[in-house]
């Protein structure tokens, strides 16, 4: 009988992997994913790069101009921006509308500094002017306070905090690193890793649901069940299609490692230092149990459906559970050590994707790893057993209009 399961595994694996859709998915999807990040980063960088832009600022001159205001205008000139001075506000206003100047500034003793522009979204100019005004005024106030140059320098350039990451391997010395940059890298890596895992799981869960639906709607299931039991069929399908999912996931990860080793992703640099063998082993374990559990659920749902529409209606009943991990990834990535993150990474629905995020983010206590694995495996077996029962009862019933609530009826022996 075991050889029959092997036959089903082999057949379902090849049936899934030998399709154009699979090959395109394995190669194109990560390229599209990375490409979209690169394109977005490129255009964002372009829109923030004003080095080539010629900026002209109008200055409304009046009798109330202070020395400080003149200093502000002087600082603007230092930035290689052009200045157009005029006492006529109507003229400067019209020049702004005509795009001859980017906007104009004025100063009066009541309203203080004002900058006028017709552009709401490009904050570069207004933010720069704001920064200049702030710095010039602060420097001016401190300079006239009677403090020494040294004291003024300390106020204007306060000391910063050097951040260190402790390591249990070196208790007497501390690792020194640029924690902020590393933290950002780890977050990006973790998020990307979790998305790849989730996408793989969901793609192949849908795959098995559709496969079971096809078996039932084409009546081939009757032929198959003369040779194998429903449990053997379910096992073979899950392992065959799940195997293809694991291959896809590993190819994606290897592509990501290759890409990050050979090209610095903008503002991220190499990520491969976080993709350790330990991470691969643990992630594979989480991935395998996660995908097996989700696939069993989708197979059970497929066994209840008669048509594609029927299947879609039934799947919508569990869509909240399948979409929640995508939402939770971000808060867990940003704060992997919080109670929320620890608890969510223990729950079987979420641990497959969230625990690797936490592993990448930093040291996860061994007891948490072990506990999450035990919960995942134990719950996974229970869900698979119940899903198998639903599959056994559902696959052999034809012409039934099962509703989502009928799942509980089908769970009975």
Partner 1 sequence: MLQLNHITKNYGSFRAVDDLSFTAEEGKIIGIIGPNGAGKSTTIRLIMNILQPDGGEILINGKPYSDEDSDQIGYLPEERGLYKKQKVSEMLHYLGALKGMTKDDCEHQIDHWLNRFGLTEWKDKKVEALSKGMSQKIQFISSVMHSPKILFLDEPFSGLDPVSSDQLLAVIREMKEQGRIILFSTHVMETAEIICDHIIMLNHGHKILDGTIHDIKREFGSDTLTLDITGNHSFLQGIPAIVDVRERGNSLNIVFQKGTDINALIVEIVNKAFQNGCAISSLKVDEPSLHSIFVSIAGDKNESEPQK
Q: Which residues bind partner 1 (CB under 8 A)?
A: 1, 3-4, 7-8, 11, 15, 214, 218-229, 396
Q: Which is nearer to partner 1, 16 or 353 (CB)?
A: 16
Q: Which is nearer to partner 1, 220 or 267 (CB)?
A: 220
Q: Which is nearer to partner 1, 19 or 173 (CB)?
A: 19
Instruction: Tell me if 299 sits within 8 A of 209, measured CB to CB.
Output: yes
d(CA 99, CA 126): 16
Nearest distance from residue 20's CB to partner 1, in Å? 11
Q: Which is nearer to partner 1, 19 or 36 (CB)?
A: 19
Nearest distance from residue 289's CB to partner 1, in Å? 28
Nearest distance from residue 202's CB to partner 1, in Å? 22
Nearest distance from residue 288's CB to partner 1, in Å? 25
* Angle at 325 (CA atoms; ends 320, 328), nearest 5 degrees: 110
Q: Which is nearer to partner 1, 155 or 396 (CB)?
A: 396
Q: Which is nearer to partner 1, 7 or 89 (CB)?
A: 7
Nearest distance from residue 225's CB to partner 1, in Å? 4
Nearest distance from residue 210's CB to partner 1, in Å? 12
Nearest distance from residue 245's CB to partner 1, in Å? 19
Q: Which is nearer to partner 1, 191 or 224 (CB)?
A: 224
Q: Nearest-CA neighbor of 79 among 56, 105, 95, 49?
A: 56
Residue 173: Cβ-neighbour burial (10 angstroms; 0-12, 13-18, 19+): exposed
């Amino acid at each position: 009988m075991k050889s029959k399961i092997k036959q089903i595994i082999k057949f379902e694996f090849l049936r899934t992997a030998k399709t154009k859709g699979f090959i395109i998915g394995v190669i194109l999807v990560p390229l599209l994913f990375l490409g979209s990040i690169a394109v977005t980063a490129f255009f964002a960088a372009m829109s923030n790069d004003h080095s080539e832009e010629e900026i002209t600022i109008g200055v409304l001159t009046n009798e109330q101009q202070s020395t400080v205001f003149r200093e502000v205008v002087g600082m603007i000139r230092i930035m290689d921006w052009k200045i157009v001075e005029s006492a006529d506000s109507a003229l400067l206003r019209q020049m702004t509308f005509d795009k001859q100047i980017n906007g104009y500034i004025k100063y009066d003793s009541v309203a203080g500094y004002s900058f006028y522009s017709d552009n709401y979204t490009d904050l570069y100019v207004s933010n720069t002017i704001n920064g200049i005004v702030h710095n010039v005024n602060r420097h001016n106030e401190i300079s006239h306070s009677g403090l020494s140059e040294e004291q003024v320098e300390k106020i204007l350039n306060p000391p910063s905090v050097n951040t260190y990451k402790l390591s249990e391997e070196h208790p007497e010395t501390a690792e020194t690193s640029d924690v902020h940059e590393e933290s950002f890298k780890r977050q990006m890596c973790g998020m990307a890793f979790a998305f790849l895992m989730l996408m793989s799981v969901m793609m192949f869960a849908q795959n098995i649901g559709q496969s079971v639906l096809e078996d039932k709607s084409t009546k081939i299931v009757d032929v198959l069940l003369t040779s194998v039991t429903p449990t053997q069929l379910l096992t073979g399908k899950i392992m065959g299609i799940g195997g293809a999912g694991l291959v896809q996931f590993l190819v994606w990860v290897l592509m990501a490692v290759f890409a990050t080793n050979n090209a610095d992703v903008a503002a991220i640099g190499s990520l491969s230092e976080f993709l350790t063998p330990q991470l691969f082993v643990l992630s594979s374990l989480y991935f395998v149990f996660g995908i097996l559990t989700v696939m069993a659920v989708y197979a059970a749902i497929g066994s209840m459906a008669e048509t594609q529409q029927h299947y879609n209606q039934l799947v919508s009943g569990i869509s909240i559970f399948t979409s929640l991990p995508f939402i939770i990834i971000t808060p867990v990535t940003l704060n992997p050590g919080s109670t929320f993150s620890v608890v969510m990474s223990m729950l079987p629905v979420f641990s497959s994707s969230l625990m690797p995020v936490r592993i990448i983010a930093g040291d996860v206590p061994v007891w948490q790893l072990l506990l999450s694995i035990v919960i995942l495996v134990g719950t996974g077996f229970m869900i698979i057993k119940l899903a198998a029962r639903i599959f056994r009862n559902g696959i052999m019933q034809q012409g039934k209009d099962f509703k989502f609530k009928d799942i509980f009826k089908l769970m009975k022996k």
